[in-house]
Amino acid sequence: DLVVHRRCHTGEKPYPCGLCDYRGATSSHLAKHVRVHHTGAGLECDLCGFRGLDRRHMLAHRKARHAPRPLHPCPTCSFQASTKGQLTNHMKVHVKLTSLACDQCQFVGANRSKLEAHKRKHTGERPYPCDKCEYRAATRGSLNVHAKIHMAKKPFVCEVCGYSTVNRTRLRRHMWVHNGEEKPFACDQCSYRCDRMSYLEIHQRVHSGARPFVCDLCDYRAISKAQLGAHRKLHDTAAIVSCELCGYRVAGERLLAMHRKTHDRIDPARPSLLACGMCEFTTGTAQNLRRHRANHTGARPYACALCDYRTSERNYLAAHQAVHTGRRPYACEQCHYTTAYKSCLAEHALRHTNHAPFLCDSCDYRTSHRSALRRHKDKQHPQTQ
């Protein structure tokens, strides 16, 4: 009504909480606050930590997130999908292994163009001729590198020693020699120095643990394209072998041996566990298995229409789109904090209650943030990870 609306302008909050400093503008706001922050047991999910507004809300959460779902088995390997769409995406992995395989050796290409470039190693074909000499290249990239030999014009000249080059970046890098800064880019976590920002960005992944480049033939992850390329050469000479129990195909006996262990892994005492067919991972829910399997397959079916972002989960895409719209629909009732993520709001709300549910199993440390506990373990107890 009008009286309640006017409180938006006056800031009046006449309904105080008897258990903390919170004040509500309406009695319903106060009632909701008490349910969320001061109601007892039964409102926190024992499987994921989600907090419900009331018991009915919690039951709806458990049914939506943790109820068993029908599984769709892969006819080629041991993978089980929770939806038909997920199974369709998974089957593309098997199709790719056969459609992108070289018919003269064991090489499997990351895409069609990589396979065609590889086949030229067998045929000796060099379809890209240089228009300045008799040189011919197997790839367009190799031709571009060669073409620089013929570039007589080098407009960027060093005023100190007369060195000349074809681009400004090389001249700038050369000038570091005269300035005594051959390696001006320094890591702020160790003594590493380099002469290119791109090299520093790759190095810093050693500290952060980020490995964004994923092998599409196994679960290996690399910190750079070059490292991934070196790893892929291992698959070039490794035979594609099949599991005799389920037909699962992988490059090399070592990875096949790892896969075979999954057939003996299910614990009879816990038959509900779902196992990943490509590593040692097991879980009690199909959703967790689906998310984990995306690390192996690289499947990212949900794409943002405004940028290059892709993800394996529909809800991740919805949250990402807030970056473009600026929409932050989840607001804290006790302060001005807003967020695009419901999970972030739930974690933030713990600050107002002094509740710290995340405990370290190696020491007395406890926190209200799951991410803070993860950072603590990585720093203080890396040997347990």
Task: Give the separation between CA 257 and CA 6, rounded to whole angstroms.
Answer: 70
CB of 337 within 8 A of CB of 346? no
Residue 215's closest CA among 235, 201, 198, 199? 235
Least confident of 27-31, 121-125, 243-247: 243-247
One domain, residues 5 and 83: no
- Give yes or no: residues 60 and 119 share one domain: no
User: What is the pLDDT of the chain when averaged over all its residues?
Assistant: 73
Same domain, 220 and 270: yes
Question: Mean pLDDT lowest for which of 136-145, 236-245, 312-321, 341-350?
Answer: 236-245
pLDDT for the residue 350: 67
What is the per-residue pLDDT across 89-107, written as a single tens digit (0 to 9) for each? Answer: 777 666 655 666 777 766 7
Encode pLDDT of 131-159 as tens digits: 888 888 888 888 887 787 677 677 788 87
Instruction: Write out the residue range of the structural domain in which residue 144 sits.
Output: 112-150
- 358 belongs to a structural domain: no
Same structural domain, 234 and 258: yes
User: What is the reported pLDDT for 110?
Assistant: 66
Instruction: Kindly state whether residue 7 falls inside one of the protein's structural domains.
Output: yes
pLDDT tier at 271, thresholds 50, 70, 90: very low
199, two tokens:
């090299």
Asked if 44 and 86 sit in the same domain, the reply is no
Answer whether residue 360 is part of any domain.
Answer: no
Q: Are residues 236 and 275 in the same domain?
A: yes
Pick the residue with more confidence: 305 or 248? Answer: 305
Q: Can you list the alpha helix ranges (DSSP code H) found in the chain? A: 2-10, 27-38, 55-66, 84-99, 112-123, 140-147, 168-179, 197-208, 225-236, 253-260, 286-297, 314-320, 322-325, 342-353, 370-380
Taking residues 52-56, report their average pLDDT.
67
Q: How far apart are CA 45 and CA 55, in angstroms?
A: 11
Position 222 in a domain: yes
Domain shared by 217 and 90, yes or no: yes
Do 121 and 54 have their domain in common? no
Whose tokens are 């976590």? That residue is 189
Percentage, residues of the chain above pLDDT 90: 0
The predicted pLDDT at position 268 comes to 47
pLDDT score, position 261: 66
Tell me whether residue 175 is in a domain: no
Residue 46 has pLDDT above 50, yes or no: yes
Summarize the confidence of residues 32-55 as an average pLDDT. Answer: 68
Residue 348 clears pLDDT 60, i.e. is over it: yes
**Residue 366: in which H helix or E strand, if any?**
strand 366-367
Residue 238 has pLDDT above 60, yes or no: no
Task: Tell me the pLDDT tens digit for each residue of 206-228.
Answer: 777 788 888 776 667 788 877 77
pLDDT in tens, 172-187: 777 776 766 667 778 8
Lowest mean pLDDT among 30-39, 233-242, 351-360: 233-242
Check: CB of residue 136 under 8 Å from CB of residue 126. Answer: yes
Is 330 domain-assigned? Answer: no
Q: Domain boundary residue among 247, 274, 299?
A: 299
Closest CA to 293 of 71, 63, 110, 67: 71
What one-character DSSP code corresponds to residue 281?
-
91 and 216 inside one domain: yes
Cα separations (Å) of 93 from 75, 85, 88, 126, 140? 13, 14, 10, 31, 28
CATH number at residue 18: 3.30.160.60
The answer to whether residues 234 and 102 touch, using CB atoms and an 8 Å cutoff, is: no
The pLDDT-based confidence of 250 (bands split at 50, 70, 90) is low
Last residue of a domain, one of 299, 325, 340: 299
Beta bridge partners of 117: none
Identify the pLDDT of residue 252: 64
pLDDT value, residue 181: 62
Residues 290 and 224 in one domain: yes
C-alpha 322: how far from chain center: 18
CB 49 within 8 A of CB 65: no
User: What residue has token string 């720093």?
Assistant: 379
Is residue 378 included in any domain, yes or no?
no
Cα distances from 160 to residues 157, 166, 174, 178, in angstroms, run 9, 17, 11, 8
Return the pLDDT at 115: 80
Q: How many domains does the chain have?
A: 3
Whole-number Å distance between alpha carbons of 17 and 38: 10
* CA–CA separation, 148 and 296 (whole Å): 39
